[in-house]
Structure 1
Amino acid sequence: MLAVFFSVFVLTVSIAWGKVQPLIAFVLVSMLAALLLGMPLEAIPKAIEKGIGDLLGSLTVIICVGAVFGKLIADSGAAQRIAGFLISLFGQRRMPLALMITGFVAGIPLYYNVGFVLLVPLVFSLVYQTGRPAVALAIPLVCGLSIAHGFLPPHPSPTALAGQFGADIGRTLLLGIVVGIPTLLIAGPLFAMSLKNIKGVSSALFKAELKPEAELPGAFNSFATALLPVWLLGGFTVLILHPSDSAAVNRVVAFFANPLIIMLVALGAAVVTLGLARGRSLSSIMGGAGDALRDVAPILLVIAGAGALKQVLVETGVSAELGRSLASLPVPPLVLGWLIALVLRVCLGSATVAGLTAAGIVAPLVNGTGLDPSLMVLAVGAGSLMCSHVNDSGFWMFKEYMGLSLRDTFRSWTLMETLVGLFGLLFVMLLSIFV
């Protein structure tokens, strides 16, 4: 256990202080852990390669197709249409609620950074029209984006965590929505009511151009296409839970319930409904695919590195030993997973790195205690969102876009992320009573 904790400490210092690229840091620390745990020298490279291959093998296509899908949703104007429709539907008095739903709905297909850059200009346009404080309007929006990023597949972190814990992705998505909605209400519009006195000075540099109304797809098309992965994952999960009497039907359902197939179907539908049906050529529709894959490449490298460390812990037997030791602690397993992810998040900044590293440590608890693996995905995800501060890129994006002081960024962004983590865990624990 001392060897594992020392290895995690070295990983933390190398990434947070030494600024070592996460994949390189993971591989080097995996080698260090293997040596400290007595793994034969000739077995170390094979373990690292196996860990990387096993974890990426089931995730790479899902995450890459998801990135291209999200980019298409953004470039087509569907996300902008969703935001505009919800704002007009709820009216000015309920604008924070409209922005909360916008962040949550658009955040399902969009990666956090893409959704942030795309949707924050909408906040500024509302600020100029209404004179309302930018921070109080932005918090519900970014809270929705953050919860989707941390809790809901097909986002990379919860998808990778589901792979680590052996959780069903469709079930994780459904439970993540159940946990995410009340968490979002509290950490989003309710918390934003306390931020009305915070004034920011937004830079003109961040005033992105919005598409003209005539160039946007329809509201039904935008909602239906953006949420298609959710409909499909949820629907096929229900069908799997209630199988047919026909074995042939069950085989077809199992095929289409695979997240890889679902993401490919969703991408194909988006190409048609948001592109070809609106007169765009296939080459122009897929023009952003290269940018999307470049954006997601660093995330894949982090996931690969986490797989290497996990495999070393498994092959040396220390993973099972850690599971037995942690299981004996007077702390519920869900709280333990959340707590380890929290500590790593504070040290490392990256929610993805924190979550995947924590998963490698607590994964044996899932098998050893009979715990629902989807709940552990959500608990670790909640811990990985806690206490965002100066070592997190999201902290600086919010600060600079909103034109805030460090103090006001801690008061708004950091506290919002902390509320997401705290209430996320609370609702996961309540849900564990019933599932």
Structure 2
Amino acid sequence: MPFVVLFLGIALLLVLIIRFKINTFLALVITAVLVALGLGMPMDKIALSVQTGIGSQLGELSIVFGFGAMLGRLVADAGGAYRIATTLINKFGKKRLQLAIVLASFIIGIALFFEVGMVLLIPIVFAIAVEAEVPILYLGISMATALSVTHGFLPPHPAPVAISAALHANVGRVLLFGIIIAIPTVYIAGPLFTRLAQRYAPSAFERKGNLSSFGEIKQFKIDETPSFGSAVLTSLFPVIFMAITTLYQLIFTNGELPKHPSSLDQFIAFIGSPSIAMILSLCFAMWSMGWRRNRPTKDIMTSMENAVKSIAMLLLVIGGGGAFKQVLIDGGVGKAVATMFIHTNFSPLLLGWLVAVILRIALGSATVAALTAAGIVAPLMAQAGVDPALMVIAIGSGSLAASHVNDAGFWMFREYFDLTVKQTLSIWTVLESIISVVGIIGVMLLNVVFH
């Protein structure tokens, strides 16, 4: 019975979002309440379950997500993203343009959310493609791959941080494993896939792109932008803090905080927690991309306010995903999944990936798919003794699969590269699916190595 209710709940969510164009946050909360009723939860407990789901989801994430958006916007508005991209391209030269684009997108992708990174990088990619006389899509695929992989695999992005919180995974380990898996994934789904795509979809590579869809694009003079080192350091500041904590704990404390930590242990754990890392990083960004460059405090605050406005609804959607997840847990769906698979040899990591793939295809949103999958497989994971960090990346990989017409990223890619729907399906949907499959293969290999 729980599975019937879950299936009907997901179907209702789809109908509300796709057919009736209901706001995703509203649709998630309505569906969560109706699913709770269908699962037979006591009526006086449903509101508390929904509130707990939203609250637990947005507790730490609101700082990480909000401050991350502000940091990214400060780097972008100062011209830091432009400097990173152009410097790498000048250094690598025309022959290795794809590698330059991958590196630029990877660095910028860690600091910025997928949509913001896309908006920032595409004008630069267009300009370089025209100058180098190569198809725009030749560079665009590598750019989109790097942005998508950082979005799905690496903290401080919202989905990996949110799933880490839901599964009690060490964020530093998620970052470490994520980078190990991300490097081959970006190469295979980026430069390697581009060669294949040029053969089976040559017409897509003849498109000239559509810059008009961006509206007004901010122009930068290179000598007015921050230095390359300053822009990279600011972008990677949160990652540096998390990496320091992870490496310290792996070397000195067996990967976790000891029962009786020293002052140094406590300090290292303090700076590496995602929320503190983001607070420290934002303070540094306000100086390096603001006051140091003689920007008035009012301008800095305007950039930060605009960043928050752009992510407000996305934050609510993530909260709605948390409500749906909590109802599934409290209503017994998670236990039902655990019971169903308790006597099988099916890997929990593969199950987490598969559940996320199905939800991604059904719902469109990678973040919502990931959160819902985390809620469903959490009880099973505890029984199987799986590394929570690997489960985070398995679910993150699954949540990127088969992006199609119900995903905003699909339409962004189509619009910016001026493709037909068929061409977008043959390039973007295949690209996202390759990332997903290579990601889970990487997770399974790491599981063998570290188990």
Interval of TM-score (by shorter of Structure 1 and Structure 2): over 0.9
* Equivalent residues of 1:338, 1:425 under 8 A apart: yes
Which sits farther off after the overlay, 385-394 or 17-26?
Answer: 17-26
**Corresponding residue for 1:304?**
319
Aligned to 1:390: 405
Equivalences for residues 150-161 of structure 1 within 5 A = 150-161=152-163
CA distance in 2, matches of 1:195, 1:212: 35
Q: Which residue of 2 aligns with 1:222?
A: 231
TM-aligned CA distance change 1:218 to 1:55, over 3 Å:
same
Residues in 2 aligned to 1:398 and 1:161: alpha-carbon distance in whole angstroms: 26
After superposition, where does 1:226-305 map in structure 2 within 5 Å?
Answer: 226-241=235-250, 242-243=252-253, 247-305=262-320
Q: Distance in 2 between matches of 1:37 and 1:412?
A: 40
**Unaligned runs of at least 5 residues, structure 1:** none
| Alpha-carbon distance between aligned partners in 2 of 1:57 and 1:431, rounded to the nearest angstrom | 30
- Cα distance, 1:46–1:272 mapped onto 2, change above 3 Å: same
Q: Deviations over 1:213-247 (max 9, x none)?
A: 11111111111111111111011122233249972
Residue 348 of structure 1, CA deviation: 1.6
Give the distance between the partners of 1:252 and 1:295, measured in 2 at CA.
33
Code of the aligned partner of 1:391: N
Displacement after TM superposition at 1:201 (Å): 2.9
Distance across 1 between alignment mates of 2:363 and 2:52:
25
Equivalent-residue separation in structure 1 for 2:267 and 2:396 (angstroms): 32
Question: Structure 2: which 5+ runs fail to align?
Answer: none
- Give me the whole-angstrom Cα distance separating, in 2, the residues matched to 1:381 and 1:286: 33
What's the CA shift for 1:146? 0.5
Q: Is the 8 A contact 1:50 1:311 kept in 2?
A: yes
Query: What is the alpha-carbon distance in structure 2 between the residues aligned to residue 327 and residue 8 of structure 1?
Result: 24
What residue identity is the alignment partner of 1:283?
Answer: K
- Residue 9 of structure 1 deviates from its aligned partner by 2.6
**Is 2:328 the counterpart of 1:313?**
yes
Q: Please report how far the alpha carbon of residue 329 of structure 1 lies from its aligned counterpart in structure 2 after TM superposition.
A: 4.1
Moved more, 199-208 or 84-93: 199-208
C-alpha separation in 1, matches of 2:440 and 2:208: 34
From 208, 220, 236, give the equivalent of 1:211: 220
- Tell me how far 1:352 sits from its aligned partner: 1.1
**1:330 positional shift:** 4.3
**Partner amino acid, structure 2, of 1:90:** F
8 Å Cα contact 2:410/2:424 also seen in 1? yes
Asked if 1 retains the 8 angstrom alpha-carbon contact of 2:136 and 2:208, the reply is no
Q: Check whether the contact 2:154–2:178 (CA below 8 A) recurs between aligned residues.
A: yes
Tell whether the 8 Å contact from 1:167 to 1:374 is kept in structure 2 after alignment: yes
Query: C-alpha separation between the residues in 1 aligned to 2:169 and 2:19?
Result: 33
2:6 corresponds to which of 1, 4, 7 = 4
Overall identity of the aligned pairs, in %: 40
For 2:357 and 2:14, the matched residues in 1 are separated by: 13
Counterpart CA distance in 1 for 2:18 and 2:445 is: 34
Structure 1 residue corresponding to 2:444, chosen from 396, 405, 429: 429
Aligned partner letter, 1:385: L
Distance in 1 between the 2:377 and 2:17 partners? 21
User: What's the offset of the Cα at 1:322?
Assistant: 2.1
Call closer, same or farther: CA 1:328–1:20 in 2, change over 3 Å: farther
Please say if 1:331 is aligned against 2:340.
Answer: no
Superimposed CA distance per residue, residues 62-113 of structure 1 (whole angstroms, 9 cap, x where no aligned partner):
1111111111111111111111111111110010111011111110000111
> Aligned residue for 2:115?
113
C-alpha separation in 1, matches of 2:422 and 2:57: 39
Q: Is the 8 A contact 2:10 2:362 kept in 1?
A: no
2:420 maps to 1:405: yes
Cα gap change, 1:5/1:326 in structure 2, threshold over 3 Å: closer, same or farther?
farther
Residues 1:356 and 2:371 aligned together: yes
**What's the C-alpha RMSD, in Å, of the aligned pairs?**
1.7
Q: Where in structure 2 are the equivalents of 1:370-385 lying within 5 Å?
A: 370-385=385-400
Tell me, what secondary structure is at the counterpart of 1:426? helix
Q: Which amino acid aligns with 2:70?
A: V
**Segment of structure 1 superposing worse, 307-316 or 358-367:** 307-316
